[in-house]
A and B are shown apart, each in its own frame.
Chain A
């Protein structure tokens, strides 16, 4: 490998890494926030109106933190799979709760 090849290789790996972070941040961050909004709306105490509003208010903070994590994580892949798991947990809680309790 010449040094020019190596430089090109490095550049493409960085582009790939940035792309993964972007996917983790923009659709990923919103997805994690949405799934946790659903989960929190189901599990927060209080009546349904209060829980729904509170969950939505918290979701924006979740979204911002998820975006920051997408860039703070050690690599793009790591950002992607950690956020996938985080969103998956929220989704699972929401799904289990809706499947067992139903909606109004």
Chain B
């Protein structure tokens, strides 16, 4: 009987049921997960990519000078704005992307400050507004990681959230499926077709297992207000009451309509650093150049684990402290620490590298799992020359995502280099280039014979990655030689990492090219003709 498989509560039956769940939950959302995982991994170098994509900018040496310059710029550019927002750069940042919220004219609707080009500016190392090429830099990969693109943020976050939930289930079922999880980890049978793929999948999964579990669960936590609002509903009639407790804000003051110049910012930065116990990450100014001006300083997320960073507010005229965020309770700190663990901002370069490598392991885990699905089934196909439609679709979607998405990301970096600097809506142009390129690669993957498509597209990816640092070397003043001589390890590291990834994909392309599936014919003869290639694996 069909349900016999599920009968019996012994360990074997349990493992089998969880193996089925692992296979299908992993496959169903594996492609989206792969794109989210890869973009998130790249986003660990968000700041470095922000610099890399703006090669005309000088390296920041004195962050305080940039902030003072930002205040001077805003005083001239938007003296009577409602508020200013100034991120404090580090020596790794491209600059300070300031924005302001203009006064609402009578009869006009409230305008959004963020994301509007006419209410923001990039302040460079010398404290002046700079005109770098228009790009979203590494920030785009960061936003894509949870907002995707070309769709409302609401739907994108639900899709990513559901994918993350499937991932959590896939990881937990993956753990219980492997009875010999640690012995499996030390097993790597090379050149053995399915066994090798399985071993590769296991190794990339087990190697960074604590990371995978942590990153998936904390990823859900970052979106929890949206995905799981029911605990809030159970306790609050109005959710803003909870948010006011979790994100305490300095009380709002009305504009006095009396022009008084702002107190110098640098002494306040130093005072806030002392009071908050760490460097300042954001400066907010409300009612600038007014008698009721307020300056709020928030501690940098790079200086502590919890993402719930404390703030302090000063009178903008006298510079006296007027408010301080109350100490958060344990649960808020726990949740903030989970968000902080996910984003990894607290880490120095060593930790950032660890995150990056674990992210690559996770990407390999998802990719090898997807490929394993086809490898397992190919050996049991009744007629390998004519696989069923579903099998061919999975096979080609795998190519379109696993080779295609990294190609698309690399094309984004190429578009950053090659699009005309004065182009209208250039930042959007870079993103469109990425997705148009991805579409072409996808179409190619659909029509080309799969084995050839793998080799050619992995080879193309390797070539595109390896050529980027070469292009920088020839065409830009920020080539590898110059950056190494200057000791600018952020930019040099970015070029070297791109080259390293290129070499890795070149190796993968070469291995796929040389791979000859020997076991296939024998396996087919051993299987009865009626065997169902669609039955769950194992």
Footprint of B on A, CB under 8 Å?
10-11, 13-14, 17, 25, 33-35, 37-42, 46-57, 59-60, 63-64, 67-68, 71-75, 94, 97-98, 103-104
* Pairwise interchain contact A68-B172, C-beta atoms closer than 8 A: yes
- With A37-B228, A57-B334, A60-B224 as contacts: A104 and B235 at CB distance below 8 Å: yes
* Interface 0/1 of B228-241, CB less than 8 Å to A: 10111111110001
A53-B332, A56-B232, A74-B9 given; 15 more Cβ-contact pairs under 8 Å: A11-B2, A17-B6, A37-B230, A38-B230, A48-B236, A48-B242, A54-B334, A56-B230, A60-B168, A67-B25, A75-B7, A103-B236, A103-B237, A104-B235, A104-B236
A33 to B25 CA separation, bound complex (whole angstroms): 18
A40 to B165 CA separation, bound complex (whole angstroms): 20
A42 to B21 CA separation, bound complex (whole angstroms): 32
Q: Which of A10, A34, A38, A55 contacts B1 (CB 8 A)?
A: A10
Does residue B472 face the partner (Cβ distance < 8 Å to A)?
A: no
* Pairwise interchain contact A53-B331, C-beta atoms closer than 8 A: yes
| Nearest Cβ on chain B to A67's Cβ, whole angstroms | 5
Chain B contacts for A71, CB-based, 8 A:
17-18, 20-21, 173
Does residue B508 face the partner (Cβ distance < 8 Å to A)?
A: no
| Nearest Cβ on chain A to B221's Cβ, whole angstroms | 7
Chain B contacts for A50, CB-based, 8 A:
329-332
A95 to B9 CA separation, bound complex (whole angstroms): 34
| Nearest Cβ on chain A to B167's Cβ, whole angstroms | 10
Chain B interface size band reads 35 or more
| Nearest Cβ on chain A to B177's Cβ, whole angstroms | 11
| Nearest Cβ on chain A to B532's Cβ, whole angstroms | 10
Footprint of A on B, CB under 8 Å?
1-3, 6-9, 14, 17-18, 20-21, 25, 165, 168-169, 172-173, 176, 217, 220-221, 224, 228, 230-237, 241-242, 245-246, 329-332, 334-335, 338
Interface CB pairs A-B, < 8 A, 8:
A11-B2, A37-B230, A38-B234, A46-B330, A49-B332, A50-B330, A55-B231, A71-B17
Chain A contacts for B25, CB-based, 8 A:
67
A14 to B20 CA separation, bound complex (whole angstroms): 13
A47 to B330 CA separation, bound complex (whole angstroms): 10
A31, closest chain B residue (CB) = B230
* Pairwise interchain contact A49-B228, C-beta atoms closer than 8 A: no
Which 9 pairs between the two chains have the least Cβ-Cβ distance? Answer: A14-B2, A41-B231, A50-B331, A38-B234, A55-B231, A53-B331, A37-B231, A34-B230, A10-B2
A94 to B235 CA separation, bound complex (whole angstroms): 10
| Nearest Cβ on chain B to A3's Cβ, whole angstroms | 12
A13, A17, A64 — which one has the most chain B CB atoms within 10 A of its CB?
Answer: A64
* Pairwise interchain contact B235-A42, C-beta atoms closer than 8 A: yes
* Pairwise interchain contact A52-B6, C-beta atoms closer than 8 A: no
* Pairwise interchain contact B21-A33, C-beta atoms closer than 8 A: no
B232, closest chain A residue (CB) = A52
A60 to B222 CA separation, bound complex (whole angstroms): 12
A67 to B17 CA separation, bound complex (whole angstroms): 11
A72 to B9 CA separation, bound complex (whole angstroms): 8
A25 to B334 CA separation, bound complex (whole angstroms): 28
A42, closest chain B residue (CB) = B234
| Nearest Cβ on chain A to B393's Cβ, whole angstroms | 20
| Nearest Cβ on chain A to B303's Cβ, whole angstroms | 23
Chain B contacts for A38, CB-based, 8 A:
230-231, 233-234
A35, A54, A97 — which one has the most chain B CB atoms within 10 A of its CB?
Answer: A54
| Nearest Cβ on chain A to B328's Cβ, whole angstroms | 9
B168, closest chain A residue (CB) = A64
| Nearest Cβ on chain A to B450's Cβ, whole angstroms | 29
| Nearest Cβ on chain B to A45's Cβ, whole angstroms | 11
* Pairwise interchain contact B228-A48, C-beta atoms closer than 8 A: no
A59 to B220 CA separation, bound complex (whole angstroms): 11
| Nearest Cβ on chain A to B339's Cβ, whole angstroms | 11
A97 to B242 CA separation, bound complex (whole angstroms): 19
Chain A contacts for B220, CB-based, 8 A:
60
| Nearest Cβ on chain A to B362's Cβ, whole angstroms | 17
A42 to B169 CA separation, bound complex (whole angstroms): 27
| Nearest Cβ on chain B to A17's Cβ, whole angstroms | 5
Chain A contacts for B242, CB-based, 8 A:
48-49, 52
* Pairwise interchain contact B169-A64, C-beta atoms closer than 8 A: yes
| Nearest Cβ on chain A to B174's Cβ, whole angstroms | 11
Chain A contacts for B169, CB-based, 8 A:
64, 67-68
A11 to B1 CA separation, bound complex (whole angstroms): 9
A14 to B345 CA separation, bound complex (whole angstroms): 48
Chain A contacts for B9, CB-based, 8 A:
74
Chain A contacts for B168, CB-based, 8 A:
60, 64
Q: Which of B3, B14, B165, B221 contacts A72 (CB 8 A)?
A: B14
* Pairwise interchain contact B228-A60, C-beta atoms closer than 8 A: yes
- With A67-B169, A74-B7 as contacts: A59 and B331 at CB distance below 8 Å: no
A72 to B16 CA separation, bound complex (whole angstroms): 9
* Pairwise interchain contact B235-A41, C-beta atoms closer than 8 A: yes
Q: Which of A56, A67, A68, A98 contacts B228 (CB 8 A)?
A: A56
- With A33-B228, A49-B242, A55-B231 as contacts: A60 and B221 at CB distance below 8 Å: yes
* Pairwise interchain contact B231-A47, C-beta atoms closer than 8 A: no
B1, B18, B228 — which one has the most chain A CB atoms within 10 A of its CB?
Answer: B228
Chain B contacts for A75, CB-based, 8 A:
3, 6-7
* Pairwise interchain contact B2-A103, C-beta atoms closer than 8 A: no
Q: Which of A53, A54, A60, A68 contacts B165 (CB 8 A)?
A: A60
* Pairwise interchain contact A35-B236, C-beta atoms closer than 8 A: no
A57 to B330 CA separation, bound complex (whole angstroms): 13
A35, A40, A53, A67 — which one has the most chain B CB atoms within 10 A of its CB?
Answer: A53
| Nearest Cβ on chain B to A52's Cβ, whole angstroms | 5
B9, B176, B245, B246 — which one has the most chain A CB atoms within 10 A of its CB?
Answer: B245
* Pairwise interchain contact A59-B231, C-beta atoms closer than 8 A: yes
Chain A contacts for B329, CB-based, 8 A:
46-47, 49-50
